[in-house]
């Protein structure tokens, strides 16, 4: 994850001149920013430069992305009326620039690495729409879910349909894999996940059924709900650092791939600790196929670029000598 590609000086220079949304809406510039980490760090995949909130503009949501805060929704959803007024996303007319950015990025990458498209999962999007901005306790979100189930289900229904269509459009435009970000799902109990979320995340994934496209299901704080997430769908499950990767694999089953699971804060330490923590993850993985080495959540803005480069080199070296591809 590099949502904070913001830690790259090359990115900061571009951001000094353009807002985040401006970058997203300029396909050539977006392609340039998307490929930066591949060129500078040597990572094995590119993730489209966009934000989970971007497509919501197309369904009638006004927001901005504030420095150091993240998405801020102008008029948070409070009742049935406000949810009912949301429209359904038409990707080709609402977010044509996303599809154009995918084509431009594919050209620039020239098959060096795959391009990952993405969307926010219905729950995580709903939490921003209801709370207005990032929260610690998700009280407003859960209150609406418990007290106003009809409104909740209508919102999740609308979001899942729009996000399924959005992902499918990204794949049609050339995305080689997709990732569904349910960043804040760990605030729910497994039982509530089952009732209020699972059917909708399942619907998002169902839009790609029958397509030979790897689907990554991302979440944090999910140690107790991996089996529920598996039911919702995906080929790869992203785990944070709160669960050892071998334990997560036992819970998920060995027919699924795993992405993770280094704590992003480790990258603020010295190279010795980075190596120890990374080697521990890779040892726990052993010779199992289907591991995407990654951080458990977004990279921190103050991360030294040199540490990330060393991490990428170390993982490549380690897995090569272990005889893995």
Instruction: By CB under 6 A, tell whether 123 contacts ligand CP3.
Output: no
Using the minimum distance from each CB to ligand CP3, give the nearer residue, 97 or 318: 97
> Judged by CB under 6 A, which of 161, 183, 259, 261 binds ligand CP3?
183
Candidate ranges 64-72, 194-202, 269-277, 315-323; the one touching ligand CP3 (CB under 6 A) = 64-72
> Judged by CB under 6 A, which of 9, 68, 270, 325 binds ligand CP3?
68
Instruction: By CB under 6 A, tell whether 49 contacts ligand CP3.
Output: yes
> Judged by CB under 6 A, which of 16, 67, 137, 306 binds ligand CP3?
67
112 a catalytic residue: no
Using the minimum distance from each CB to ligand CP3, give the nearer residue, 69 or 191: 69
> Judged by CB under 6 A, which of 31, 38, 52, 77 binds ligand CP3?
52
**Alpha-carbon gap, residue 54 to 60, rounded angstroms:** 11
Cα 306 to chain center, whole Å?
A: 24
Using the minimum distance from each CB to ligand CP3, give the nearer residue, 52 or 248: 52
Do residues 256 and 236 lie in contact, with contact meaning Cβ atoms separated by under 8 Å?
A: yes
**Alpha-carbon gap, residue 305 to 180, rounded angstroms:** 26
Query: Min. distance of Cβ 124 from ligand CP3 in angstroms?
Result: 6
221: DSSP letter: S
Using the minimum distance from each CB to ligand CP3, give the nearer residue, 246 or 300: 300
> Judged by CB under 6 A, which of 40, 65, 213, 312 binds ligand CP3?
65
**Alpha-carbon gap, residue 68 to 115, rounded angstroms:** 27
242 a catalytic residue: no
Query: Min. distance of Cβ 217 from ligand CP3 in angstroms?
Result: 12
Residue 260 Rama label (left phi>0; alpha psi -120 to 50; beta): left
230 a catalytic residue: no
**Alpha-carbon gap, residue 56 to 86, rounded angstroms:** 9
> Judged by CB under 6 A, which of 47, 156, 169, 285 binds ligand CP3?
47
Token couple for 315: 């993982």
DSSP conformation letters of 230-250: HHH--SEEE--TTS-HHHHHH
Query: Min. distance of Cβ 320 from ligand CP3 in angstroms?
Result: 25
15 a catalytic residue: yes
Nearest residue to the partner ligand CP3, using Cβ: 3
**Alpha-carbon gap, residue 166 to 92, rounded angstroms:** 9
**Alpha-carbon gap, residue 233 to 155, rounded angstroms:** 20
DSSP conformation letters of 56-113: GGGGT--EEEETTTEEEESS---SHHHHHT-----HHHHSHHHHHHHHHHHHHHTTSS
Instruction: By CB under 6 A, tell whether 135 contacts ligand CP3.
Output: no
275 a catalytic residue: no
Which positions from 275 through 314 interact with ligand CP3, judged by CB under 6 A? 298
Q: Catalytic positions, please?
A: 2, 6, 15, 51, 128
> Which residues contact ligand CP3 (rule: CB under 6 A)?
1-6, 15, 20, 47, 49-52, 65, 67-71, 118, 124, 134, 181, 183, 298
């Amino acid at each position: 994850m590099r949502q904070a590609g913001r830690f790259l000086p090359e990115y900061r220079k571009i951001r000094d001149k353009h807002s985040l949304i401006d970058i997203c809406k300029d396909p050539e510039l977006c392609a340039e920013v998307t490929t930066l980490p591949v060129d500078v760090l040597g990572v094995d995949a590119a993730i489209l430069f966009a934000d989970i909130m971007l497509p919501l503009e197309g369904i009638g949501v006004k927001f901005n992305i504030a420095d150091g805060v993240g998405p801020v929704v102008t008029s948070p959803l409070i009742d049935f009326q406000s949810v009912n007024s949301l429209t359904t996303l038409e990707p080709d007319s609402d977010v044509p620039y996303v599809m154009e950015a995918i084509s431009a990025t594919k050209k620039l990458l020239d098959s060096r690495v795959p391009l990952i498209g993405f969307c926010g999962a219905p729950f995580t999007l709903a939490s921003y729409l209801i709370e207005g901005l990032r929260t610690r306790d998700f009280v407003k979100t859960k209150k609406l879910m418990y007290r106003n189930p009809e409104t909740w289900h209508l919102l999740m229904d609308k979001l899942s349909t729009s996000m399924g269509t959005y992902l499918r459009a990204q794949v049609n435009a050339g995305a080689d894999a997709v990732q569904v970000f349910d960043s804040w799902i760990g605030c729910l109990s497994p039982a509530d996940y089952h009732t209020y979320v699972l059917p909708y995340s399942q619907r998002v994934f169902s839009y790609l059924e029958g397509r030979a496209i790897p689907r990554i299901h991302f979440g944090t704080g999910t140690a107790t709900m991996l089996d529920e997430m598996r039911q919702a769908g995906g080929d790869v499950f992203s785990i944070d650092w709160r669960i050892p990767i071998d334990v997560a694999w036992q819970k998920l089953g060995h027919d699924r791939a795993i992405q993770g699971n280094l704590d992003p804060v480790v990258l603020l330490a010295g190279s010795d600790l980075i190596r120890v923590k990374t080697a521990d993850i890779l040892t726990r993985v052993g010779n199992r196929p289907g591991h995407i080495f990654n951080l458990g959540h977004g990279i921190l803005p103050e991360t030294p670029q040199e540490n990330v480069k060393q991490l990428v080199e170390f993982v490549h070296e380690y897995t090569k000598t272990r005889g893995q591809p």
